[in-house]
Amino acid sequence: MKIQSNTTKNKPVIIHSAIKVNLDIEREVAALLKEELCKGGYSVSDDMGTRDLFIAYFGLRTRMVSKRKRKVWLASDFDCPPHLQKGFEFLKSKIEAGDDLRGHLSRKLKDLEEEDFLLFDWNIRHFHLGEIVDADGFVKRTKELLFAMVDEDNVYCIKIAPHGGWSDKELLETVHKNWPLLLNSWKVNATPEVNFTSGEIAELRKGHVNVIVQLNDGTCYVSPGFGIMTSGVSARAVLETMGIQRMLDNMKSYLGKAELAAAIKEQMNVQDNLWDYEIGRDNSLFYAREKKYGFRVPLFQMDELF
């Protein structure tokens, strides 16, 4: 701490010095996320780097549906076959109650790095409509699936269709017709040279290629799910990884700020200029804890997956 004379007001001005921070914040946050994944039953290689772990973690978050109450909306031409009515009502009741929906998702959810190109590209999910829950927590698989878009407060039921229609343009046609606002941010004012068919889109996705989709009325959209990276992972997961890396870098800088250091020194009566932090987690809250003095600095919140 230095005291500098202010000749204008003839009062001493206290200038606080920043402190040195000992903390590998990315590595420690990644370790906590890895611990969360392992508790959820996922196997994470010790060789997986921090960036790859973040991408895998946020990819899994993308594929899961958070537990919260949502309203269910049906497309104008939505039709549920009689033999699936009970299964659909079972799922609908769980959606409205805010229950865990993992059991209705693909069993491939058990694979940390599984690809879901329909979700990654068009932000459309598929749900199984079984009525009986198997020992592993997943409902009995059904040949026909519910295709739907999900946001924080709503589930938009597009159609029930056979398993495998992952690139069926009719899915986007129905969303465009019933809930165009869901696609507004992804509309492009350009006409592609090729109006790709559903089959061609499927083939292009195998090569991790994102395309502009032209609908029957000429409206064009590009990847409402943010798209697929050339590596096959979710572009949304990569963007979220870049976001958390920037945020963590800013958080480490914040921990060394002179103003924060002065406030802590005053409250804790400490004088050290090198603080040794570790990252901890209390449910959704991530915090930095100074090892010697034990004080905590809240950093950010992120809901747990399980």
Residue that is last in its domain, among 195, 224, 253: 224
Same domain, 71 and 212: yes
pLDDT at 109: 97
pLDDT band at 247 (very low <50, low <70, confident <90, very high): very high
- Sign, CA torsion 272/273/276/277: positive
Would you state the structure tokens that stand for residue 124, as one six-digit string? 């459309």
- Helix ranges, the chain (H): 25-39, 50-63, 85-97, 117-122, 169-178, 198-206, 235-255, 258-268
Same domain, 117 and 139: yes
Q: What is the pLDDT of residues 223-245, one digit of tens each?
A: 999 999 999 999 999 999 999 99
Asked whether the predicted pLDDT for residue 184 surpasses 70, the reply is yes
Residue that is last in its domain, among 198, 224, 250: 224
The SS3 assignment for 301 reads strand
Of the chain, the percentage scoring pLDDT greater than 70 comes to 94
pLDDT at 5: 32
Same domain, 159 and 218: yes
* Domain of 8, in residue numbers: 2-51+238-301
As a whole number, the mean pLDDT across the chain is 93
Of the chain, the percentage scoring pLDDT greater than 90 comes to 88
pLDDT at 17: 65
For residue 11, is it within any domain?
A: yes
Same domain, 68 and 212: yes
Q: Taking a C-beta distance cutoff of 8 angstroms, is the pair 301, 286 a contact?
A: yes
**Phi then psi dihedrals of residue 64, to 5 deg:** -90, 165
Split into its structural domains, the chain has a count of: 2
Same domain, 17 and 68: no
Same domain, 71 and 163: yes
The 3-state secondary structure of 137-161 reads: CCECCCCEEEEEEECCCEEEEEEEE
- Sign, CA torsion 269/255/51/207: positive
* pTM for this entry: 0.91
For residue 179, is it within any domain?
A: yes
Would you state the structure tokens that stand for residue 157, as one six-digit string? 């039921």
* Beta strand residue intervals within 62-136, DSSP E: 71-74, 125-128
For residue 91, is it within any domain?
A: yes
pLDDT at 265: 87
For residue 233, is it within any domain?
A: no
pLDDT band at 248 (very low <50, low <70, confident <90, very high): very high
First-to-final CA distance of the chain: 46
Q: What is the pLDDT of residues 138-166, one digit of tens each?
A: 999 999 999 999 999 999 999 999 999 99
CB atoms near residue 100 (< 10 Å): 13
Same domain, 109 and 246: no
Q: What is the pLDDT of residues 74-112, one digit of tens each?
A: 999 999 999 999 999 999 999 999 999 999 999 999 999
pLDDT at 295: 93
Residue that is last in its domain, among 224, 248, 282: 224
pLDDT at 261: 87
Same domain, 75 and 167: yes
**Average of per-residue pLDDT across 63-76:** 97
pLDDT at 19: 86
Alpha-carbon span 260 to 257, nearest angstrom: 5
For residue 59, is it within any domain?
A: no
Residue 60 CA: distances (Å) to CA of 2, 6, 293: 49, 56, 36
For residue 57, is it within any domain?
A: no
For residue 306, is it within any domain?
A: no
